[in-house]
Chains A and B, each alone.
Chain A
Amino acid sequence: MALKPPELTYMEGESRCDYNWTTGEVVGTFLAALRDHGKMLAGVCESCGQVAVPPTSYCESCGSEVSDLREVGPRGVVMSWARVADDFEGAPAEAPFRYVLVRPAGADTELLHVAPDDDGIRIGATVRPEFRPREQRGGAITDIRWFVPDGAESEGS
């Protein structure tokens, strides 16, 4: 029998899944330091010396082991930013806000975070993290609410 265009062109469905992502020792320590001490820790590579934040137990630059952690920041330099004007589902902050890449003092890498929509957020600007109140922190990168301008520009970038 010949086909004619069907009425049922779509089937609805939904997929939802719960996860418990294992952090590993290094990442677990980093997250606990955010929650318990309001500090950012970086991993120091025993071979090439790269200071990476957030840290991994393996050096992403040279592949060696990383077990040494060191505090970095709290201040950092803005390496880039992007302004989001409109709210969207799952957004990390209320619009308007800015995504930022921040290189904490003492680190060789940048971390992704958010910032207020402030003209003080520009490449080369010094920023500092604003942590959430202790009771609201759960051991996540979002224990830092965002990075805010710290006043004086850093010299050079």
Chain B
Amino acid sequence: MTRPVAVIGTGQTKYVSRRDDKNVPEIVREAGLRALADAGLKPSDVDAVVIGSAPEIFEGVNYPEDWIAPALGMCPGPVMRVHTGGTVGAATGIAGFYHVASGAYDTVLAVAYQKLSDGVPQYGLSACYDPLWDRDFACGAPALVGLQSRQYLDRHAPAVTEEHGAMVAVKNRRNALLNPYAQIRREITVADVMSSPPVAEPLKLLDCCPTSDGAAAMVIASEQTARKKCPRPAWFSGVGTCSESPYVPHVDMAYPESCVRAAQQAYQMAWIYEPARELDVAEVYEAFSFQELIWCEALGLCRPGEGGKLIESGRSDLDGALPVNTSGGVLSSNPIGASAMIRQVEAAMQVMGRAGEHQVDGVHRALAHSWGGAIQFSTVTIFSDEI
């Protein structure tokens, strides 16, 4: 086991489809300085920085970490960039955790960002595929998740239907109304979703996330610093990561093994035996509506095939027994490289009691999940209010 490590401050930028006023390093700086302020620290208190973003092709700048690090105010100093597909934001938080848990550093700033408006997102997504076969199909995210969603719906029909996906979108957009950082803050109905234009059936427009510019940041610290600076730290109690075959067709997309394993690893570390009962909040990476149900099943928050029952029951609503995506989720804001960290930020904020209008009462343990790549990267991070 590692030494205790906690998140003691978080920062985010307001997510929008296009930031006209700041360039990439400036946006990252905005989130980083907010996280430091939230932690009651200055840039000079930071021992090392970990930077995460999705592939360079999105903004068209190779090794952006050298462009960005100085904007965080602690250069010269240790800087590392990580990347793991769509899970990069969470991998960044987890790398920050490793930096401190190892004993090598005391206080680390982890930042993740994306400025999708600088480039052409769907091209970037298609270029992530193996050039030897998949790339010719330009099967960007909606088509890939269309295949995933179809497989899921077909496997569990009639217990799970397209309407259940619509209910997820409705719930998360409603939650976003209470999150001042969320990009899309507009209530929708199931009928709105069902009648929205098809994108990659069964996905319709309102089943899909937006593309966003934005950044998120976390200050991660040792127990000594956490106890000094933070009244209610969010302790890393469980961490799990897993990657399976990167070749898109070899994964059981409706119940990915990498997600099940990452969850098992995290639950084991956190001594959680019944996640559905022991967790108080879950943030899952639902870039598309059906994914929320798929992840809840693979994470053990409900049984396989019962995703429809879960969303219908109200259990995952903000005032339900296990609120899912209290932030409004990826369906409301999606700066790709930051999106997985935003799940961690929200989970940490819920434990720290800093989630403002979308704070759930009595949160002791919160889970943050992410997926990425060709549905083969998975991470699970669990925060707790006690070591």
Contact = CB atoms under 8 A, between A and B. Distances in A.
B250 A114 contact: no
Contacts of B250: 52, 60, 109-110
B314 to A, nearest CB: 30
A109 B250 CA distance: 6
A67 interface: no
Contacts of A86: 197
A73 interface: no
Nearest to B374: A112
B147 interface: yes
Contacts of B202: 82
B271 interface: no
Q: Interface residue tally of chain A, by bracket?
A: 35 or more
Interface string B9-51: 0000000000011000000000000000000000000000000
Interface stretch (B73-81, B138-146, B220-228, B359-367): B138-146
Given A82-B150, A123-B150, A92 B132 contact: no
B163 interface: no
Contacts of A83: 146, 198, 200-201
Contacts of B132: 21, 23, 27, 31, 54, 141
Interface in B224-279: 245, 247-250, 253
Contacts of B131: 19, 21
A103 to B, nearest CB: 8
B201 A85 contact: yes
B123 interface: yes
A147 interface: no
Chain B interface category by residue count: 35 or more
Interface string A108-121: 01111110000000
Contact of A99 (B122, B198, B200): B200
B189 interface: no
B332 to A, nearest CB: 23
A15 B61 CA distance: 10
B294 to A, nearest CB: 13
A52 B138 CA distance: 22
A9 B146 CA distance: 36
B63 to A, nearest CB: 14
A82 to B, nearest CB: 3
A32 interface: no
B198 A80 contact: no
A142 B150 contact: no
A152 interface: no
A99 B139 contact: yes
Contacts of A151: none
Interface in B125-143: 126, 131-134, 136-139, 143
B151 interface: yes
Interface in A42-92: 52, 54, 56, 60-61, 79-86, 88-92
Contacts of B200: 82-84, 99
Contact of A81 (B150, B198, B245, B248): B150
B60 interface: yes
B162 to A, nearest CB: 13
A88 B141 CA distance: 13
B59 to A, nearest CB: 10
B134 A112 contact: yes
A80 B151 contact: yes
B147 A82 contact: yes
Interface in B63-112: none
Given A9-B20, A123-B154, A82 B143 contact: yes
Nearest to A157: B154
A131 B189 CA distance: 45
A92 B137 contact: yes
B148 interface: yes
A54 B133 contact: yes
Given A90-B123, A123-B151, 18 more contacts: A9-B21, A54-B247, A80-B150, A80-B253, A82-B143, A82-B146, A82-B200, A83-B198, A84-B146, A90-B126, A99-B139, A99-B147, A101-B249, A110-B250, A112-B134, A112-B137, A123-B154, A142-B136
The 8 closest A-B pairs by CB, nearest first: A82-B146, A110-B249, A83-B201, A90-B138, A60-B245, A80-B151, A141-B133, A82-B200
23 contacts: A21-B132, A52-B250, A54-B247, A60-B245, A60-B250, A80-B154, A81-B150, A82-B143, A83-B201, A84-B143, A84-B146, A86-B197, A90-B123, A92-B137, A99-B143, A109-B250, A110-B249, A112-B133, A112-B134, A112-B137, A112-B139, A112-B249, A114-B137
